[in-house]
Chains A and B, each alone.
Chain A
């Protein structure tokens, strides 16, 4: 099988280009650190919704970086990006439906 990015023999002399990789690593580490700080400091029950929102936003932020940079999806062609992102976006409905369902099960109990 031949591939589009097959390169000629001179590439062996290239220098490693890892700046973007390490930048992504620091983003991921920072997001996880913030999650920890929030988990330990925002323990008051009144801030529960705020805390959960921060966790969710940071999780999606991390997911975006892992999929976009590490899995390289950000740099693929648009058709490929949408054929992955569009089906997966339907999960949002799945989440809402079953959270509501779970809540009403609790009411019935």
Chain B
């Protein structure tokens, strides 16, 4: 209402309030600026990964004779090569591919929920929000498995300080320099926390949709705002996927 009258009286009352120069509501703008600050946090983390990786030696030998060592940065293909129920099979990047697909898919269902919100279609919003929540939970489950796998380690382990060591923690890491595991746990953990809070926000929005809050307020903008956050989480994963798993 405020903005409708504002557009008609804009020239007469430009500084009188109620004008939206960015054609977006306060809540949406603040979500954008929050996401911008979060972009800086995540880029700082990922750039730290890049810097520490560049300050370690890279493996230069033949790829087939690769072994884990404390001397050089591990090759991601060799670290992330397991998927559930297929123990001992070398399947590089397959599991993380599934995780990426789940997250992109849940981003799609989120944007479908936003689209349904524009049409004021409560049933469709409910349906797509529920799929989005399920996608988020599935992703978190995959990540829990991935962490457990990395912490537990391989059957052979590696020799660290003359003793065999299995898996990885913040101090020791059978796959390579300890910094590799530190950065992995920190960055994917920080991203996972974002996914977790995204799922919680989605559940709140889903609940509000079901009890008809947005039908009463007359718009589904809350779905859009949380949608922005959810897409951002997906966006961060695109970068984590490239820098941690591919390069």
Asked if B169 is at the interface (CB within 8 A of a chain A CB), the reply is no
Q: Mark B40-75, 1 if CB is under 8 A from A, else 0.
A: 100110011011111111001001000000000000
Q: Mark A1-23, 1 if CB is under 8 A from B, else 0.
A: 11111110001101011100110
- Majority SS at the chain B contact face: helix
Asked if A50 is at the interface (CB within 8 A of a chain B CB), the reply is no
**Shortest Cβ distance from residue B98 to the other chain A in the assembled complex, whole angstroms:** 11
Beyond A2-B3, A25-B108, whether A91 also contacts B54 by CB under 8 A is: no
> Chain A contacts of B219 at CB under 8 A?
3, 5-7
Q: How many interface contacts (CB-CB < 8 Å) are there between A and B?
A: 158
Asked if B16 is at the interface (CB within 8 A of a chain A CB), the reply is no
A32 to B40, CA, bound (A): 24
Query: Which residues on B are within 8 Å of A, measured CB to CB?
Result: 1-4, 20-27, 29, 32, 36, 39-40, 43-44, 47-48, 50-57, 60, 63, 77, 92-93, 97, 100-101, 104-105, 107-108, 110-112, 115-116, 118-121, 124, 218-219, 221, 227-228, 231-232, 234-235, 238-239, 242, 246-247
Given contacts A18-B112, A59-B239, A59-B242, 20 further A-B contacts (CB under 8 A): A1-B26, A5-B118, A11-B120, A12-B121, A16-B112, A16-B116, A16-B124, A39-B92, A67-B231, A70-B111, A80-B24, A83-B22, A88-B36, A94-B43, A99-B50, A101-B55, A102-B51, A102-B55, A106-B54, A109-B55
